[in-house]
């Protein structure tokens, strides 16, 4: 991916600059031991005031430079983190908007923030200073080989502790990261459904659910922190003990005349500086591992998303839609039933199609396929003969009006939401879209009209208001294709009438309309009906053909009900016998006629009908398998014949 490559190149350049600054900083760290060495071995023995002043001035200047370089190094690291987020921020957010990437896409922004925070922190300096540890340890050889080997041995032991820290915390750290992500997802879901939680007294249960997930995450983190803290304490104790040992051995060497007094303190400071980065790496290992995991996940998601391809600009679509063998697998992959199972159909430009089917049949998924918001596992969706994946999404989006099943407005004004978040909306186009959606009067009644600010998700507006404003957003810019998913789910009678008028105007303008609905009223404006069942297409034809098919289904159900009520047609039912006796006695029969002997109307058995829907477009009127009639015993049949 181009952006990922650019980010790597920028980070490599910054890393080289940080390494150069770190080299100078680490060399200037020798100021203190050298100053102390000269004080003890030169100034105190010579009693020379000029030497003391000269050494103090040089040391002060070196410390000023050290402080300046340290500040520049920190500022450079902070800006490197900001630069990284600038380069990858848009792509990371785009990953979060895609449904085909999975959890890695949803966590992309958090992962990028974790990486940026680590780069800007002091933890990254420990990793950069780590390679300079051998330089400090090597300097000890020129002071005395024994001190060098003591410090080198201590460095090896600290390095082994660092590897041990990685080994005992890697699995626990991975588990903690996964459970943190799970707890965060639960909290986001609870926040999005706050109204339902409060209305139905589910708030405590929701908190308990999040608390259980968060407790597992905290438990896993406690394991990581505990192990890391133990090893950090061991390494720090060992490092300080080693410095004391160096002082003791140094004193012994002074007594033996192999070192001067100043070398004792210089060696202690240098050994401490050589071991400190290793100790810091062990102490900050958890943050390092978390940052590395975040970067790995982010990089994997960016690679999976694929490179940004500059698409050839195509002419405005006419509205022809072709779906050929579209297949969308479920979350479990091939082991789960497909959400969309090799669906194929075509819609001519200017046609209107109603998509119906029971809940869970794949209607909303089909809507996302038609607008390019989701890619099929196999198969193609074409607009004017071109695969929808070959269209520039920004250019194609200007010609598509989409209203999702869940309508959420974004932070901003009503006008900005209708204008699809354009920074400076075209007032004429906004008003035109509102008029087409018949929502202008509703908006005018809001406190500030089109300039009314709404919060995240459309805070402050009812579900019906958000849906009608979302419909106006779909009409913005005169789109040639409109895909509306349950556009009347939250509408009252006035809203339903406004929707009907809006769809009729769009149909007259030659717009290709796809309406997904559970209500038959919306089918009054469509030309064709597509019915999905368990992800498969089981009907596609005109509205009249759909009505005829439903009528046949209704008749079949009535016949099944009649057969169930009287399983043996040759044998009069008990109800008929009873009614016949009542009719012979002059009582009213179930059909309302009075019995009058042989001249009375024939008695029909009472059939308990399964209440059919009055609307012929109700797709739910489908026959269900009826249980086979229970056969009567032979003895019972003989008794009846007698």
pLDDT in tens, 143-155: 888 988 988 888 8
Matching CATH number, 2-305, of 3.20.20.70, 3.30.70.260, 1.20.1560.10, 3.20.10.10: 1.20.1560.10
- What is the C-alpha separation between 487 and 525, in angstroms, rounded? 13
Collapsing DSSP to helix, strand or coil, 324 comes out as strand
Which residues, including other chains, have CB under 8 Å from residue 578's CB and lie 6 or more apart? none
pLDDT at 321 over 50: yes
pLDDT value of position 529 = 92
537 Rama sector, left if φ>0, alpha if ψ -120 to 50, beta otherwise: beta
DSSP-assigned letter for residue 102: -
Segment among 231-245, 523-537, 621-635 with least mean pLDDT: 621-635
If one compares 278 and 76, the residue with the highest pLDDT of the two is 76
Residue 60: band (very low, low, confident or very high) from pLDDT cuts 50, 70, 90: very high
pLDDT value of position 380 = 93
Rounded to 10 deg, the angle between the 427-436 and 493-508 helix axes is 110
Residues of the chain with CATH 1.20.1560.10: 2-305
pLDDT at 642 over 80: no
Distance of CA 365 to the CA centre of its chain: 16
Average pLDDT over residues 515-531: 85
Q: What are phi and psi of 539, to 5 degrees?
A: -160, 140
What is the enclosing helix (H) or strand (E) of 500?
helix 493-508
Number of H helices, E strands in the chain: 23, 12
User: Could you read off the pLDDT of 66-125 as tens digits, one per residue?
Assistant: 999 988 988 888 888 888 888 888 888 877 777 666 566 667 888 888 888 888 887 788
If one compares 207 and 627, the residue with the highest pLDDT of the two is 207
Q: What percent of the chain has pLDDT over 70?
A: 85
Distance of CA 4 to the CA centre of its chain: 20
pLDDT value of position 105 = 64
User: Could you read off the pLDDT of 372-399 as tens digits, one per residue?
Assistant: 888 898 999 999 999 998 888 888 888 9
pLDDT value of position 588 = 39
Tokens 């041990």 found at: 164
User: Could you read off the pLDDT of 389-437 as tens digits, one per residue?
Assistant: 888 888 888 899 999 888 878 888 889 889 988 877 888 999 999 988 8
What is the enclosing helix (H) or strand (E) of 567?
none
Segment among 130-144, 459-473, 573-587 with least mean pLDDT: 573-587
- What is the C-alpha separation between 128 and 76, in angstroms, rounded? 13
Reduced 3-state DSSP string for 366-429:
HHHHHHCCCCCCEEEEEECCEEHHHCCHHHHHCCEEEECCCCCECCEEHHHHHCCCCCCCCHHH
pLDDT value of position 481 = 93
If one compares 596 and 65, the residue with the highest pLDDT of the two is 65
pLDDT at 335 over 70: yes
Please say whether the beta carbons of 329 and 338 come within 8 A: yes
Residue 64: band (very low, low, confident or very high) from pLDDT cuts 50, 70, 90: very high
pLDDT value of position 126 = 82
Average pLDDT over residues 24-48: 84
Q: What are phi and psi of 356, to 5 degrees?
A: -125, 170
pLDDT value of position 636 = 44
pLDDT at 583 over 70: no
Mean pLDDT of the chain, nearest integer: 80
Longest Cα–Cα distance of the chain, Å, equals: 147
pLDDT value of position 458 = 60
pLDDT value of position 205 = 85
pLDDT value of position 109 = 83
Closest to 357 in 3D by CA, of 382, 369, 336, 340: 340
Residues β-bridged to residue 346: 322
* Structure tokens, 591: 């059909």
- What is the C-alpha separation between 566 and 573, in angstroms, rounded? 6
pLDDT at 246 over 70: yes
Average pLDDT over residues 171-197: 78
User: Could you read off the pLDDT of 336-368 as tens digits, one per residue?
Assistant: 889 999 999 999 999 999 999 888 888 999 999
If one compares 303 and 378, the residue with the highest pLDDT of the two is 378
DSSP-assigned letter for residue 359: T
pLDDT value of position 512 = 93
Beta strands in 80-152 (DSSP E): none
pLDDT at 130 over 50: yes
pLDDT value of position 457 = 59
Residues β-bridged to residue 343: 326
Closest to 216 in 3D by CA, of 184, 170, 168: 184
Segment among 6-15, 49-58, 190-199, 468-477 with least mean pLDDT: 190-199
DSSP secondary structure of 172-232:
HHHHHHHHHHHHHHHHHHHHHTHHHHHHTT-HHHHHHHHHHHHHHHHHHHHHHHHHHHHHH
Angle at 160 between CA 248 and CA 265, to 5 degrees: 25
């Amino acid at each position: 991916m181009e952006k990922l490559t650019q980010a790597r190149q920028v980070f490599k350049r910054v890393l080289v600059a940080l390494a150069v600054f770190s080299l100078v900083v680490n060399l200037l760290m020798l100021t203190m031991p050298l100053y102390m060495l000269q004080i003890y071995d030169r100034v105190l023995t010579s009693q020379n005031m000029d030497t003391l002043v000269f050494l103090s001035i040089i040391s002060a200047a070196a410390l000023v430079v050290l402080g300046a370089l340290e500040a520049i190094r920190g500022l450079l690291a902070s800006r490197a983190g900001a630069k990284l987020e600038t380069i990858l921020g848009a792509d990371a957010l785009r990953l979060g908007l895609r449904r085909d990437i999975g959890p890695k896409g949803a966590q992309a922004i958090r992962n990028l923030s974790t990486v940026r925070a680590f780069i800007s922190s002091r933890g990254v300096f420990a990793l950069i200073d780590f390679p300079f540890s051998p330089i400090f340890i090597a300097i000890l050889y020129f002071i005395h080989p024994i001190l060098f080997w003591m410090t080198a041995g201590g460095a090896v032991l600290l390095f082994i502790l660092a590897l041990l820290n990685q080994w005992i915390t890697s699995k626990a750290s991975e588990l903690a990261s996964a459970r943190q992500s799970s707890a965060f997802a639960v909290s986001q879901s609870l926040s999005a459904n706050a109204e339902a939680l409060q209305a139905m007294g589910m708030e405590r249960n929701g908190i308990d659910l999040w608390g259980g997930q968060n407790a597992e995450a905290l438990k896993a983190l406690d394991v990581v922190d505990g192990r890391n803290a133990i090893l950090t304490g061991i390494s720090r104790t060992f490092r300080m003990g080693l410095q004391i040992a160096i002082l003791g051995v140094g004193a012994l060497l002074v007594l033996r005349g192999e070192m001067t007094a100043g070398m004792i303190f210089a060696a202690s400071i240098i050994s401490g500086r050589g071991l400190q980065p290793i100790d810091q790496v062990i102490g900050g290992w958890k943050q390092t591992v978390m940052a590395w995991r975040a970067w790995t996940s982010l990089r994997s998601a960016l690679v999976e998303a694929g490179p940004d391809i500059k698409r050839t600009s195509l002419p405005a679509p006419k509205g022809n839609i072709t779906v050929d063998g579209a297949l969308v697998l479920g979350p479990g992959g091939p082991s789960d039933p497909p959400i969309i199972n090799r669906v194929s159909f075509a819609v001519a430009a200017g046609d209107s199609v109603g998509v119906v089917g029971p809940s869970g049949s794949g209607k909303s998924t089909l809507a996302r396929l038609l607008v390019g918001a989701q890619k099929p596992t196999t198969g193609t969706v074409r607009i004017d003969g071109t695969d929808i994946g070959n269209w520039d999404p920004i250019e194609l989006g200007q010609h598509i009006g989409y209203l999702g099943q869940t309508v959420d407005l974004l932070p901003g004004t009503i006008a900005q939401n209708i204008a699809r978040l354009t920074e400076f909306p075209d007032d004429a186009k906004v008003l035109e879209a509102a008029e087409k959606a018949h929502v202008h009067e509703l908006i005018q009644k809001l406190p500030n009209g089109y300039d009314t600010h709404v919060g995240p998700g459309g805070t402050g507006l009812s579900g019906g208001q958000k849906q009608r404003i979302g419909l106006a957003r779909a009409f913005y810019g005169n789109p040639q294709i409109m895909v509306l998913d349950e556009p009347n789910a939250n509408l009252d009678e006035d809203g339903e009438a406004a929707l009907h008028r809006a769809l009729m105007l769009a149909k007259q303008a030659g717009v290709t309309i796809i309406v997904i609905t559970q209500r038959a009223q919306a089918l009054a404006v469509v030309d064709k009906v597509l019915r999905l069942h368990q992800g498969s297409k089981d009907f596609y034809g005109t509205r009249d053909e759909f009505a005829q098919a439903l009528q046949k289904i209704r008749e079949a159900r009535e016949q099944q009900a009649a057969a169930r009520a009287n399983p043996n047609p040759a044998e009069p039912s008990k109800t008929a016998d009873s009614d016949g006796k009542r009719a012979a006695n002059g009582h009213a029969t179930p059909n309302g006629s009075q019995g009058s002997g042989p001249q009375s109307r024939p008695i029909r058995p009472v059939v308990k009908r399964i209440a059919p829907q009055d609307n012929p477009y109700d797709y739910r009127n489908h026959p269900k398998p009826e249980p086979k009639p229970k056969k009567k015993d032979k003895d019972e049949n003989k008794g009846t014949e007698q």
